[in-house]
Structure 1
Amino acid sequence: MAPVREKRIPGKGYREMVRALIVVAAGLLAGCAIPADAPNVPDLAASVPAAPAGLRASPDRPPSPEVAQETTPLPPSPTRILDQDAALRLRGNGGITLQWIGWEDRGPVDIRQNGGVMILRGMQNAQGGPGKLLVEGRVTEIGPDYFILDGLVSIVDTPDEGRLCRQRRTNWRFAVTQNRKYWRLREFEWCDLLTDYIDIYF
């Protein structure tokens, strides 16, 4: 004859804990406060072991080097000079013109070195009128008959008042063609379909 297993009846403490959890759950579902006469609920969070001291967050700890490096901008690359004679001609340039303002009165072009980076700024203002030309930025590369500019080209109030053309790019290309004595911007209709001739002389 097989032995009869004895049924175990939950003790009083177990029944009280179940009852307490039911009361708390019902209160949360109903959006109500826990009744004052509810049985004591065991503190479950107290039984979770604390994290090791080395893993705890510290408000005074500085950010890791990896995080700090992500917010630091990289310095610009030096100008690539593929032709030293061309670089000398650009440094000793003879000014800048936009045909709407005129070819006779050239504006100045300033070239300065910032470390290994060549910075260009040229401008021409109309005599007795509002027209203005501005070309400025970083020269990223100089070849035998061209240079590349990363920066701004701006034409204002010429040939007509109210015209405004301003654009920043990383690849403005100025080039010498047909043995002429100037670099000409090779984007002629970059703004509003008017043909602009921007020339830097040497």
Structure 2
Amino acid sequence: MKLKLAFSLLVAIFVSYGAIAQSTQTVKPLREGKHNFTLQWVSWDNPGKVTITKNADGTYNIKGDQYSADKHDFVTIDGVIKVETPQELLFTGTILTRYSGVNDGKVCDKKGTYHFLAKGARKYWRLQEMDNCEGNNVVDYVDIYF
């Protein structure tokens, strides 16, 4: 009985320690520099680039684009990122997308605050507010790679 009680106490201590360690984990800094950047309509095989630079207040500027070979279709991003967790980025700024086969070929202009999440084993953060301006369940997969 004493062995079972001791084991239960050890398990409780380790579980509690894990919860404390997890809740006090510091957010890893976002890597500055060039990152791949894609919109699925344009191409996953030929990514564009974004440049990420750190600000004095701990936020990051992000600016970049991806264009199709004919420069007709594209995605651009320009704004500020706040790192919420290593898996979650809070972006405030402008994201423009254009693909000739969606939204009657018009630019989809998103201005405001948006969330990018890295889920599971993915090596990128994906825009969570992914509805295209066209509606009709059309989505834009806008991805910022690690």
Partner in structure 2 of residue 103 of structure 1: 44
Counterpart check, 1:124 vs 2:66: yes
**Residues 110, 120 of structure 1: 8 Å contact kept:** yes
Higher fraction of strand: 2
State which structure, 1 or 2, has the greater radius of gyration over its C-alpha atoms.
1
- Work out the CA distance in 1 between the residues paired with 2:90 and 2:100: 25
- What TM-score, normalized by structure 2, do the two folds share? 0.71
Which has the bigger relative contact order, CA under 8 A and spacing at least 6? 2
Counterpart check, 1:169 vs 2:112: yes
- What TM-score, normalized by structure 1, do the two folds share? 0.53
The alpha-carbon deviation at position 183 of structure 1 amounts to 0.4
The alpha-carbon deviation at position 83 of structure 1 amounts to 1.2
**Residues 95, 109 of structure 2: 8 Å contact kept:** yes
Gaps in structure 2 of 5+ consecutive residues: 1-25
Partner in structure 2 of residue 138 of structure 1: 80
Gaps in structure 1 of 5+ consecutive residues: 1-81
**Residues 138, 150 of structure 1: 8 Å contact kept:** yes
Provide closer, same or farther for how the CA distance between residues 108 and 147 of structure 1 changes in structure 2, counting only shifts above 3 A: same
**Residues 35, 51 of structure 2: 8 Å contact kept:** no
Equivalent runs, 1:1-202 vs 2, <5 Å: 83-85=27-29, 87-88=30-31, 91-92=32-33, 94-116=35-57, 117-160=59-102, 162-170=105-113, 172-193=114-135, 194-202=138-146
Identity of aligned residues (%): 28
The ranges of structure 1 where at least 4 consecutive aligned residues each deviate by more than 4 angstroms after the TM superposition are none
Query: What RMSD over aligned residues (CA atoms) do the two structures have, in Å?
Result: 2.0
**Residues 101, 159 of structure 1: 8 Å contact kept:** no
**Residues 112, 118 of structure 1: 8 Å contact kept:** yes
**Residues 131, 159 of structure 1: 8 Å contact kept:** no
